Structure 1
Amino acid sequence: MNRVLIPALLAAPAIPRDGRLQVLQGEAMGTSWSVRCIGGDAARLRAGILARLETVVAQMSPWEAESDLSRFNRAPAGTWHRLPAEFLAVLDCALAVAQESDGAFDPSIGTLVDLWGFGPGPGPGGSPPGAAECQALRQGVGWRKLRLDLAAGRAFQPGGIGLDLSGIAKGYAVDLVAEFLAAAGIPAFLVEIGGELRGRGAKPDGTPWWVALETPPGEAAPGAEPFLVALHELSVATSGDYRRFFRHGGRRYSHTLDPRTGAPVAAETAAVTVLHPSCMRADALATALTVLGPQSGLAHAVRHGIAALFLTREGPGLREHMSPAFAAMLD
């Protein structure tokens, strides 16, 4: 039996009476994407979806040398730079989560991400970098050094800051596609990009968009049944140490870095899943809670009313830790 999660709804989801289910899919942002929707012209929808994904890549990809992010990272110290509205919206949300989490989420760690081999740079070649080099780069990291002037549409490069938005941009892309579909008059859809999802409405038969929550491959909590969540006006994002990592000396080094130490997070936390109306915020929160760990992270989720599920490695299997907001959705 599955365990079912039902969000509290202010209004029942719209049930489309006409239109057929369409499935659009492809690759972008270094991962796969898919959209399931009811109605609409497939060619027009695909073009609109690709345009939104290309916008995120052109603005926020560290792998594109001429992206807005890459140009900002190369900018001289003490300079202001005009940035697109989408980029600023993501950076503004990133800094808000950084402040709320006391730096557990930090968009300024791009140089450290490269150092550990998880960015476009050459990295350490499958082995941990030296402690001295890591410590030296940490001196240039710090979300508090970043300044935004939203009214003027610009951001300040204090010098040496390397932005990395990989912990939030994918969630924003999901939101951007979802907002396009809604504006195009699509009453019901499910958007997925690299495992992050957002849903709206219901299928013509009245059933919701059921989504199984992600778990680490080959690992499970003893006796635990899978979670299924009904995605209406809700997003789901998961941060897990099994997505990107390398092994060295018998230890797993995850792509999720703790900005406070400059090193990958401990292997105790296998995954954190967050449910939130905004996929961008869910994405950033999942990363922040992973860095905070099960004790501090769960306390943070309780204080801020975040619906979160922690999976930790304890003994032969995984152990679940639910925040009250998450547990409240169990039907």
Structure 2
Amino acid sequence: MSKNLLFVILVAILLFLYLGTFQSSSNTPYRKTIIAMDTYVTTSVYSKDPQAAFDKVFQIFSDVERKVSFFEEKSALSCLNKRHLIKAGEAGFETLKALLEITLSYVKETDGYFDPSFAIYQAAYGFYDQNPRIPADEDIKAIVHLASFQNNVHISEEEIKTERGTLINLGGIAGGFALEECKKALLQKGYENFLIDDAGDIITEGTKPDGSLWKIGVKDPLDENPNSLAAHIVLPGGKAVSTSGSYERFIEVEGKKLNHIFDPMTGRPAESFVSVTVIGDSPIFVDVLSTALFAMPEEKAISFTENSKIAAFFITADGRRIISESAKNYITLPKRQNAQL
């Protein structure tokens, strides 16, 4: 079992404990879990007719995976990575174009700390060929020009082009994009109360039948107990939450764990945090910002969060808990912990 799969299973267990035991009633959630985009996606819906919701979630995630997955051989994104060109009319072009345009806006908004072209660094470290390694400084310098979405990705109505050698992985935004589409579709179908969890990227809508809000646990990556929580989040409907962690995807080299999120200033794995959680209205926003903030040095991340009024929760590499001003209404810590506010 992969480390990523184990992490997702733990998240699913925590959510199950929070949401209660399954029963076939509209007063308790129907649940269904699918495998999509290399992870588990769990839908919890309060309805007497949940199957249409399950089918729609499966359809949307399968469609997004088929078109923009880094690992799907025939996806539009894979074609772009191989040929550095995809034209209008080719399968998946419109979805890929829409997602790349959204990506570009976030690359600019985050000062380049969210940038899917960092996949070239992941490749250099062996994330994709099962050969973990630490590249030399000169090897990083040789590819740094490829780690720039703004310079290397060119989007028009007719085609999408990338500079030779560019590698794009949309894993940091595709899940949020799929959740956004799921939310729209389920609301259009009349579903009012549901939660969808895509490996820690979560959307909520409505409430539980008794009017209570959604409760979500944030795993404590510094505690060996897999059920230990670093924070409790209480969310009203219409919110989204995403957690990026060093424990999600990583490689080990000479006994050292190296996470998959990179600092653009160094071309090396980010080291300031072990977990960053973002709460907001849009699943795309929280998906992207949890990654971008994780990539930043601590001082910049905290400043960026407060200046932009982002609701965020940080666990630093040395174990400190930091709750942003905008997150204080959503997050509480276990009594044994203290947090910087």
Deviations 1:20-47 (A, max 9, x none): 6311212111111111112253333222
Is the 1:294–1:310 Cα contact (8 Å) retained in structure 2?
no
Whichever residue aligns with residue 288 of structure 1, its letter is A
Give the 3-state SS of the residue equivalent to 2:320 in structure 1: strand
Partner of 1:148: 155
SS of the equivalent of 1:213 reads strand
8 Å CA contact 2:235–2:330 kept in 1: the answer is no
Q: Is the 8 A contact 1:112 1:134 kept in 2?
A: yes
Could you tell me whether the CA contact under 8 Å between 2:114 and 2:291 is conserved in 1? yes
Distance 2:49 2:65 in 1: 25
Bigger drift between 153-162 and 286-295 goes to 153-162
Q: How far has the Cα of 1:330 moved from its partner?
A: 5.3
Q: CA deviation at 1:231?
A: 4.0
Q: Say what the alpha-carbon RMSD is for the aligned residues.
A: 2.4
Once the two structures are superposed, residues 89-115 of structure 1 have per-residue CA deviations (whole angstroms, 9 ceiling, x without a partner) of 322222222112211111222222222
**1:127 corresponds to 2:121:** no
Higher relative contact order (CA 8 A, sep 6+): 1
**Aligned to 1:70, what secondary structure does the other structure show?**
helix
Please say if residues 84 and 153 of structure 1, whose CA atoms lie closer than 8 Å, have aligned partners that are also in contact.
Answer: no
- Which residue identity does 2:169 align to in structure 1? D
Q: Kindly state the Cα deviation for residue 147 of structure 1 after the two structures are TM-superposed.
A: 2.9
Equivalent of residue 58 in structure 1, options 62, 66, 76: 66
- With over 3 angstroms needed to count, the CA separation of the structure-2 counterparts of 1:177 and 1:214, relative to structure 1, is farther
TM-score with structure 1 length normalisation? 0.83
Q: Which has the higher helix share?
A: 2
Corresponding position: 1:187 with 2:195: no
Asked if the contact 1:80–1:157 (Cα under 8 Å) also holds between the matched residues in 2, the reply is no
Gaps of 5+ in 2: 1-24, 333-341
Give ranges in structure 1 of 5+ residues lacking alignment: 1-16
**Aligned in 2, Cα 1:127/1:303: closer, same or farther, shift over 3 Å?**
same
Aligned residue in 2 for 1:10 = none
Query: Following the alignment from structure 1 to structure 2, what is the Cα–Cα distance between the partners of residues 253 and 329?
Result: 30
Taking a change above 3 Å as real, the CA distance of residues 263 and 204 of structure 1, as seen in their structure-2 partners, is same
Provide, for residues 153-187 of structure 1, a one-character-per-residue CA deviation record: whole Å limited to 9, x for no partner. 74332332211111111222222222221111101
Q: TM-score, normalised by structure 2?
A: 0.81
Aligned partners of 2:278 and 2:289 also within 8 Å:
yes
CA contact (8 A) 1:210 1:231 kept: no
> How many residue pairs align between the two structures?
301
Partner-residue secondary structure (3-state), 1:155: strand
Letter in 1 for 2:241: V
Alignment-mate amino acid for residue 320 of structure 2: R
Q: Which amino acid aligns with 2:123?
A: D
* Runs of 4+ off more than 6 Å: none
1:14 matched residue in structure 2: none
Counterpart of 1:270 in structure 2 is 274
